[in-house]
Amino acid sequence: MRETLGVRKERAILVGATLPGQRDYDGLKELTALAESAGAVVVDRFQQKLHKIHPAFYIGKGKAEQLADRVKRFNADVVIFDNDLLPRQIRELEEVIKAKVIDHSELILDIFATGAKTAQAKLQVELAQLEYTYPRLARMWGHLDTVVGGGVTAAGAVGGIGTRGPGEMQLEIDRRLVSKRITELKRDLENIDKRKVREIEGRIHLFKICIVGYTNVGKSTLLNALTDADAYVEDRLFATLDTRTRKWRLEGGADVLISDTVGFIRNLPHQLIESFKATLEEAITADLLIHIVDVSSPDALKQIESVNAVLLEIGCTGKQTLLVLNKVDVVSTLNTIETLQTLYPDAICISAKTGLGLNNLHDAVLQKYKGGLLHIKITTTPKNGKIQSFLRAYATIIDQQYSDGCVLIEARIGQNQLTDLKRLKPDRLDVLDTP
Ligand SMILES: Nc1nc2c(ncn2[C@@H]2O[C@H](COP(=O)(O)OP(=O)(O)OP(=O)(O)O)[C@@H](O)[C@H]2O)c(=O)[nH]1
Ligand SMILES: [Mg+2]
């Protein structure tokens, strides 16, 4: 988009610093993908082992001066850190480096800002950006004049990475206005959230599945392969920012709901998790999670850990989960599939792209959907047609009798459908021994 506007891409130098005992994550590979997703061209990489974090310059003054030389040599516009920096450190670094300095969280927020499409996603990103920006306002005020911008964004405002979204208006706003806007955004998002809850409550409760996973593993591709979702797929980090929910008809005719979510990443900014709560709610309220893993990535194992860490942070633990190994069509020289299968023997291998293994995934989902089978006896009135149609759709009716104006039905039903049946308020419901 920016390219077609004739504006050159921002030239970025990437910096990764590790502390003693800390492993280098992946040699800046992921940061490269993030920077490129934000529209930058990576012109140089700078890795540094630190004894300790320098309070003013993070990597130390000498290294900051070396970076300043590289910025000149490579004609760079922006220096992007793989770490999160304090506002003061960014200020001091920008002074020495004479270029814009962006940290890991700001970069991710920026990608979200350019990618948000729906009204809800836009509000969520704006809130996250303002909450991250709020403590940094002093820096923005003092340093806008030294910032080397990337040109014109699609919205027409002067900006570049890290200044898109609400950052564009820094000169006009002050802390009071920011906090007023934060309150407004929270209220608007709460209203959207309430409306969604009402919508969900109004619907007959269907079994809910949520696809979760690291960014770019193939979540949207899987949703498209299973339903007619037509979700946006791209080899880009954070292609999906708004979630989609679709009906998926399982064998035997049962309908379940299946949703796509925003991808996770290591060190996902806390502010983003907070403001995307409504979107991540899909995972929290799901009956089943499909945790999808990209086996073609050498970092698959670490990505599983990061996803589990985010799930823990949003309070989504102890849920039934199917671990799904995707992209098995890609030949891997790293034996990632074998390692993962040893560690997770129940994992299901698929290729969302070619359709390989989707039948196994379907069968595993069907089994989870049904849960253990229960033998029930139910008493209701003939007028409560909802119960009878529910049982016809989701249970196996063994016997049905009419007595004293009541209907007595004996049936076999999946454990997971029992809650839904109870919601329809039968006069009496007894669970007999498991058949
Ligand atoms: N070879 C191969 N590529 C796949 C497969 N599944 C997905 N991809 C590719 O992986 C890239 C990312 O796919 P998406 O479906 O957008 O991934 P996502 O997890 O939704 O990504 P985000 O929304 O960005 O978090 C795309 O280029 C897909 O074509 C697969 O089974 N095999
Ligand atoms: Mg997606």
What pLDDT, on the 0 to 100 scale, is given for residue 433? 66
What pLDDT, on the 0 to 100 scale, is given for residue 232? 85
pLDDT at 35 over 80: yes
Give 111-147 pLDDT, tens digit per residue: 888 888 888 888 988 898 888 877 665 544 444 433 3
What pLDDT, on the 0 to 100 scale, is given for residue 150? 36
Task: Locate the ligand 1 atom nearest the alpha carbon of residue 224 and give its number.
Answer: 15
Q: What is the CATH number of domain 205-369?
A: 3.40.50.300
Q: Name the average pLDDT for the chain.
A: 83
Measured in Å, residue 300 CA sits from the centre of ligand 1 at: 14
Pocket of ligand 1 (CB under 6 A): 213, 215-221, 233-240, 263, 326-327, 329-330, 351-353
pLDDT at 152 over 70: no
Other CB atoms within a 10 A radius of the CB of residue 251 amount to 10
What are the C-alpha distances in Å from 351 to residues 239, 256, 287, 329, 341? 19, 21, 23, 6, 15
Percent of the chain surpassing pLDDT 70: 85
Residue ID of nearest Cα to ligand 1 atom 6: 218
Contact between 433 and 375 under an 8 Å Cβ cutoff? The reply is: yes
| CATH level 2 (architecture), domain 371-431 | 2-Layer Sandwich (3.30)
Q: Which ligand is nearest to the CA of 237?
A: 1
Position 99, amino acid:
A
Give 390-422 pLDDT, tens digit per residue: 888 778 888 999 988 899 999 888 877 788 888
What is the average per-residue pLDDT within 257-279?
84
What pLDDT, on the 0 to 100 scale, is given for residue 148? 36
Q: What are the residue ranges spanned by the domains of the chain?
A: 1-203, 205-369, 371-431
What pLDDT, on the 0 to 100 scale, is given for residue 215? 93
End-to-end Cα spacing for the chain = 61
Measured in Å, residue 149 CA sits from the centre of ligand 1 at: 32
Measured in Å, residue 121 CA sits from the centre of ligand 1 at: 21
Residue ID of nearest Cα to ligand 1 atom 32: 327
| Res. 70 pLDDT band, cuts 50 70 90 | very high
Q: To test ligand 1's pocket by mutation, which of 108, 210, 211, 216 has the most ligand atoms within 8 angstroms of CB?
A: 216
What are the C-alpha distances in Å from 408 to residues 377, 397, 421? 7, 11, 15
Which CATH superfamily groups domain 1-203? GTPase HflX, N-terminal domain (3.40.50.11060)
Position 241, amino acid:
L
Contact between 308 and 293 under an 8 Å Cβ cutoff? The reply is: no
SS (H, E, C) the chain: CCCCCCCCCCEEEEEEEECCCCCCCCCCHHHHHHHHHCCCEEEEEEEEECCCCECCCECCHHHHHHHHHHHHHHCCCEEEECCCCCHHHHHHHHHHHCCEEECHHHHHHHHHHHHCCCHHHHHHHHHHHHHHHHHHHHHHHHHHHHCCCCEECCCCCEECCCCCHHHHHCCCCCHHHHHHHHHHHHHHHHHHHHHHHHHHHHCCCCCEEEEEEECCCCHHHHHHHHCCCCCCCCCCCCCCCCCCEEEEECCCCCEEEEECCCCECCCCCHHHHHHCHHHHHHHHCCCEEEEEEECCCCCHHHHHHHHHHHHHHCCCCCCCEEEEEECCCCCCCCCHHHHHHHHCCCCEECCCCCCCCHHHHHHHHHHHHHCCEEEEEEEECCCCHHHHHHHHHHEEEEEEEEECCEEEEEEEEEHHHHHHHHHCCCCEEEECCCC
- Structure-token pair, residue 337: 């599939």
Residue ID of nearest Cα to ligand 1 atom 9: 218
Task: Locate the ligand 1 atom nearest the alpha carbon of residue 352 and give its number.
Answer: 31
Task: Give the span between the Cα atoms of 307 and 215, in whole angstroms.
Answer: 10
What is the average per-residue pLDDT within 31-52?
93
- Identical fold for domains 1-203 and 205-369, yes or no, is yes
Task: Locate the ligand 1 atom nearest the alpha carbon of residue 239 and give its number.
Answer: 24
Other CB atoms within a 10 A radius of the CB of residue 80 amount to 29
What is the average per-residue pLDDT within 76-90?
92
pLDDT at 217 over 90: yes
Measured in Å, residue 226 CA sits from the centre of ligand 1 at: 14
Q: Give the global pTM.
A: 0.78
Give 156-193 pLDDT, tens digit per residue: 334 566 665 555 555 455 677 888 889 999 999 888 87
pLDDT at 204 over 60: no
Measured in Å, residue 221 CA sits from the centre of ligand 1 at: 6
Measured in Å, residue 216 CA sits from the centre of ligand 2 at: 7
